[in-house]
Amino acid sequence: MAERTKASVAADAPVEAVTEASLGDLGRRLAARRVQLGLTRRETAARAGMAVTYLRYLEEHPGAAPGISALMKLSEALETTVSELTGGAVDLPPGTGRAGRAPQFTWLRPGECRTLLAMHGVGRLAVPTTAGPVIVPVNYSVVDGAIVFRTARGATPSLADGCQVAFEVDRIDDAFSQGWSVLVRGPARAVTDPQEQRRLTERAYSTPWAGGSRSLWVRIDPFTVTGRRITV
């Protein structure tokens, strides 16, 4: 009984706990998609009609090569496509699929917008330059309601300091031709206080994916926040 209990706990562990063990490309994508949907291995295996031990094998073994039938079951269970799971769409921009039938467009409430923003990730920053507006992606976090990110001095994102900027995040689901976006507008400023810099470093969700020396913190205090969603 004790052994069965331990196995059940391992299978139903929080999805975040299994991502470190997902070594292969397919395994990483399977676990990452489960994180997005909030599913455990056991729940995903049940959706796909396969043994949880087989799903664990797929996630934890880099050389795992399931057949097309298993991939199709997993893509349906995880509400995505075989191409997404196998990395075939990694270099494609989101939204390459066709529009869905009878799409519905709705505006998001302020609370929904803040919840989606707080998921962290990569957003698009629009900054004014002498040559015109420029839009660049940045890794961001939300701290005390403000959008914060780290960049290098002289880099394009650093031009936001002292300007009114726009910041946008979105998620596109090509498999179902639906998604959402949130747009923030407000003043941006460089964070110069050492104590505040340390606090942001401690509370930031991630370091910049681009790496390198990026010691300049920039903070955007939202003036307006709007969002929209498309469902099918």
Query: Alpha helices, DSSP H only, in the chain?
Result: 2-11, 25-37, 41-48, 52-60, 68-77, 82-86, 110-117, 194-203
* In a shared domain, residues 120 and 225: yes
* In a shared domain, residues 176 and 119: yes
Domain boundary among the residues 22, 52, 86 is at 86
For residues 101 and 232, the answer to whether their CB atoms sit within 8 Å is: yes
- The 10s digit of each residue's pLDDT in 138-185 is 999 999 899 999 999 999 999 999 999 999 999 887 767 788 999 999
* In a shared domain, residues 113 and 218: yes
Instruction: Report CA-CA distances (Å) from 61 to 53, 57, 82.
Output: 12, 6, 18
Residues 6+ apart with CB under 8 A from 113: 182, 225, 226, 227
Number of domains in the chain: 2
pLDDT at 113: 94
Residue 165 lies in a domain: yes
Q: Which of 232, 230, 204 is nearest to 218 (CA)?
A: 204
pLDDT at 160: 95
